[in-house]
Amino acid sequence: MSATILVTGGSGYIGSHTIIELFNNGFDVVSIDNQSNSSVDAYDHIEQITGKRVVSYSADVCDIAQLRGLFSKHRIEGIIHFAAFKAVGESVEDPLKYYHNNIASLVSVLQLSEEFNVNKLIFSSSCSVYGNVTSLPVDENTALPKAESPYAYTKQIGEVMIENFCKVHPALQAVSLRYFNPVGAHKSGLNGESPINKPNNLVPVITATAIGKIPQLTIYGGEYPTRDGTCVRDYIHVSDVADAHVLALKYLIDGKNSVNYDVFNLGTGNGVSVLEAIHAFEKVSGQKLNYRIGPPREGDVVAVYSDSSKAGKLLGWTCKFDIDEMMRTAWLWERNVAERKK
């Protein structure tokens, strides 16, 4: 019998792409999502791509009674916990929203993992835990500084919560995956990022500008100490991120882990500037993008990119998509969304 994996935040951007890869690898999936920044349409997209329908619940993971009901109905063997808020700027403006949602949901997940003896857990962490790094590329041994935003702090706290919990519950095997900047869409163009709220991450803003939803893209800062003055990030294709979840789960299921809690970076290792990202988009789409250089955005780090060799070595993970593919799939998805709305 195939194992049933609970995916929290399963109709979200990374959650839905991960369900596709879980299905492709023979897992059964139950999803819980309150659609606070996503749509149930994602389940249709998953079905179009894999031919499989997700068993799904529309509920808040913080609501432990509802979550308990789900655990009672299904024999869950592993949990991938995505459900969280993720906008850095919003977290600065409304910190309690982030502390409540991102922490309470993890408390529910950990408590129920204990109650129902579910002992495999993958946690969605973020490179934002590294803050303003002083030495690049950044690896998992880098000491974590004071967080730059409440969002980043919730990810630091989440990691510590799991580590503390694993110490007293040695049966629990857990991994935190620190994503750099996940972008792009499924290679079919049938599933991608559809935030309910206005896009504010770079690639959705690029494609929204190209399609005319946003009149002009503003580059946040053009005088940083980088090769072209714009910020540098490690963009990684969402399906590569999704793959890593399946590999991390198998790593735990196969008992290949030597410690019961570990962290892994997920990035390509390539630093790409905002201007380089825009030019990659222009090249693959054949579109000229309307952009201007504006003032820096508060809370932005100058440059960050990953040393992901640990995930390569222990999980057997490699990236399949480069920046051109990230842009090509993001653009394909944006056009498909526009086509469907006609």
Residues with a catalytic annotation lie at: 151
Residues that bind ligand UD1 (CB under 6 A): 86-88, 126-128, 181, 200-202, 205, 217-220, 231, 233, 274, 297, 300-301, 304
Task: Between 30 and 210, name the residue whose CB sits nearer to ligand UD1.
Answer: 210
Residues facing residue 272 across a β-bridge: 233
Provide the minimum distance between the beta carbon of 233 and ligand UD1 in the complex, in angstroms, as a whole number. Answer: 5
Task: Between 67 and 158, name the residue whose CB sits nearer to ligand UD1.
Answer: 158
Provide the minimum distance between the beta carbon of 48 and ligand UD1 in the complex, in angstroms, as a whole number. Answer: 26
Of all residues in this chain, which one has the CB nearest to ligand UD1 in the complex? Answer: 231
Which alpha helices (DSSP H) does the chain contain, by range?
Answer: 13-24, 41-50, 64-73, 88-93, 95-98, 104-115, 150-168, 202-211, 238-253, 274-285, 309-310, 323-341
Of 131, 19, 129, 38, the C-alpha closest to 85 is 38
Task: Between 78 and 199, name the residue whose CB sits nearer to ligand UD1.
Answer: 199
Provide the minimum distance between the beta carbon of 248 and ligand UD1 in the complex, in angstroms, as a whole number. Answer: 18
Long-range contacts of 197-200 (CB under 8 A, 24+ apart): 197/37, 197/87, 200/87, 200/89
Task: Between 238 and 304, name the residue whose CB sits nearer to ligand UD1.
Answer: 304
DSSP strand pairing (76-81 vs 120-126): parallel
Residue 29: strand, helix, or coil: strand
Provide the minimum distance between the beta carbon of 278 and ligand UD1 in the complex, in angstroms, as a whole number. Answer: 9
- Cβ(17)–Cβ(239) below 8 Å: yes
Residue 327 tokens, joined: 């842009």
